[in-house]
């Protein structure tokens, strides 16, 4: 079909109608109750699994869960976790120091997945902006909390099978130590 470019029937009218419609939307929204939640006046509760600031949790007895196994630092894609493992009185392995550089952390959560003792956990607490880069470096005392986080009941040392003062064969699903000097069947 041939289109006559000089004659644009209805073009101007359609344009004006479009303008009016958008003004109508704006005007109607102007007098409605707003949907936006103002931050920081209102803080929305986030799901427990959302990934932000990292904590080191404790077991039910109040002991540090972290055994400084280096799995989190090994898996960390940006190498923001460093630590030194050491042996406590009684044989428990623990972190002599533990450091996370949050300026580097990308909150991927791989450390939490790797952690065999549920010690390192990501929390919904995402608000930690600082003025100085060094303020992002969190030491062990900054990271340690006095609760068990997402799974408060788990205690690695109930299942590990290593003797940390309570004696061999006392963990979950363990037989008492065998008598190595006996030849009885």
Contact positions vs other proteins (CB under 8 A): 67-71, 73-74, 84-87, 93, 96-97, 99, 116-117, 133-134, 137, 139-140, 156, 159-163, 168-169, 173-183, 185
Of 23 and 159, which CB lies nearer to other proteins in the complex structure?
A: 159
Minimum distance between the CB of residue 107 and other proteins, rounded to whole angstroms? Answer: 22
Minimum distance between the CB of residue 135 and other proteins, rounded to whole angstroms? Answer: 10
As a whole number of angstroms, the distance between CA 53 and CA 174 comes to 37
Minimum distance between the CB of residue 118 and other proteins, rounded to whole angstroms? Answer: 11
- Tokens coding 177: 């130590």
Burial class (CB in 10 A: 0-12, 13-18, 19+), 51: middle
Contact (CB, 8 A) for 77 and 173: no
In sequence order, what are the beta bridge partners of 56? 120, 144
Contact (CB, 8 A) for 96 and 85: yes
Minimum distance between the CB of residue 88 and other proteins, rounded to whole angstroms? Answer: 10
Of 15 and 177, which CB lies nearer to other proteins in the complex structure?
A: 177
**Residue pointed to by tokens 């923001």:** 80
Of 3 and 175, which CB lies nearer to other proteins in the complex structure?
A: 175
Of 51 and 92, which CB lies nearer to other proteins in the complex structure?
A: 92
């Amino acid at each position: 079909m041939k289109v006559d470019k000089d004659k644009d029937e209805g073009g101007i009218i359609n344009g004006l109608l479009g303008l009016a419609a958008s003004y109508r939307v704006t005007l109607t929204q102007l007098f409605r109750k707003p949907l936006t939640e103002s931050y920081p006046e209102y803080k929305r509760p986030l799901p427990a699994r959302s990934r932000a600031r990292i904590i080191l949790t404790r077991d039910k007895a109040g002991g540090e869960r972290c055994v400084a196994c280096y799995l989190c630092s090994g898996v960390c894609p940006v190498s923001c976790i460093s630590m030194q493992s050491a042996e406590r009185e009684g044989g428990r392995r623990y972190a002599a120091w533990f450091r996370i550089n949050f300026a580097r952390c990308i909150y991927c959560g791989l450390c939490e997945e790797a952690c065999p003792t549920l010690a390192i956990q990501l929390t919904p607490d995402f608000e930690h902006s600082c003025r100085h880069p060094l303020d992002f470096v969190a030491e062990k005392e900054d990271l340690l909390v006095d609760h068990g986080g997402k799974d408060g009941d788990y205690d690695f040392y109930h299942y590990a099978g290593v003797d940390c003062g309570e004696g061999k064969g006392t963990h979950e699903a363990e037989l008492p130590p065998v008598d190595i000097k006996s030849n009885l069947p």
